[in-house]
Amino acid sequence: MIHAQPAADATRLLAGLLEARTGQQIAPSRYWRIQTALAPLLKSEGIPDLDALVAVIMDPENEKLLKESLEAMLNNESFFFRDTAMFASLRSDTLPVLRERRKARRTLRIWCAGTSTGQEAYSMAILLDSDRASWEGWKLEIVGTDISASMLARARAGRYSQFEIQRGLSVDHMLRYFRQDGEDWVIDPRLQKMVQFREDNLLKPRGDLGRFDLILCRNVLMYFGPETRHIAYSKLVKALEDDGLLMLGAAETVLGHTDLFCPTREMRGVYGKALPVRG
């Protein structure tokens, strides 16, 4: 017979599982989020409380429920053109630098890590399309990844509520790149084709994503502890072209966290490989 642990222990165990599987930490002062995040799942599964949930998901046969529980606890905050200053920097500085570096082969690959419901990846597609003349004849590829299958399903659908569509989008972009369908807004299929969404975990070995010219890993590593952050940086550096660029969130930095990347002099929040560029 399995004896459920006290509620406090159940909460700590769930927080530990979340960090071990995804890298994302929840501070003890914010453990209340766990109960709030899991309440809908408990109700739908007919599980009375967190103690009972822990008892169920510790059974290896209930891996699916464990994964659903972890996905429910993830911080999936996302909106279009989040941090406008960073996107302005992408437009005026980062993308022109990469365009110059890639002018011979005329291809550009961008990875949006921790893409959640897809707004960042679609924002990149809008940014490139709004300067279409500069990218005429180029092969542009955007790959958005996330650990959550349910978030990726929403991203692939490209369907957003009125509230979501108004967060960060100008009226011009809203009308140019989305069509209204009932109470939702659906992204233009042309932009949808520019983005691939794939399931990926920054703490697991690399899949077959290939290498990228630009990686956006914004507001992801701030939730990681030192050990898991090191694992993530090791994966990011292997996925980046030698002269590629990494952009972190406005409140994030590599300084004091890794020696695999170093700041660029001219671009705020953008980093290059610290190792010498080959060739």
Q: What is the mean pLDDT of residues 68-73?
A: 79
pLDDT in tens, 71-94: 777 767 788 998 888 999 999 999
Confidence of residue 121 (pLDDT cuts 50, 70, 90): very high
Same domain, 88 and 181: yes
Same domain, 134 and 42: no
Same domain, 121 and 257: yes
| Total domain count, the chain | 2
Same domain, 209 and 236: yes
> What confidence score (pLDDT) does residue 275 get?
64
> What confidence score (pLDDT) does residue 6 get?
45
- Does any domain span residue 278? no
Same domain, 206 and 116: yes
Q: Is the pLDDT of residue 15 over 80?
A: yes
Q: How far apart are CA 115 and CA 233, in angstroms?
A: 17
Nearest to 109 by CA among 133, 158, 145, 160: 145
Of 39, 73, 107, the residue that ends a domain is 73
pTM score of the predicted model:
0.80
Q: What percent of the chain has pLDDT over 90?
A: 51
Q: Is the pLDDT of residue 21 over 80?
A: no
Same domain, 159 and 214: yes
- Residue 169: count of CB within 10 angstroms of its CB: 23
User: Backbone phi, then psi, for 215, in 5-degree steps?
Assistant: -120, 125
Domain with 142, as residue range(s), is 84-273
Q: How far apart are CA 92 and CA 203, in angstroms?
A: 32
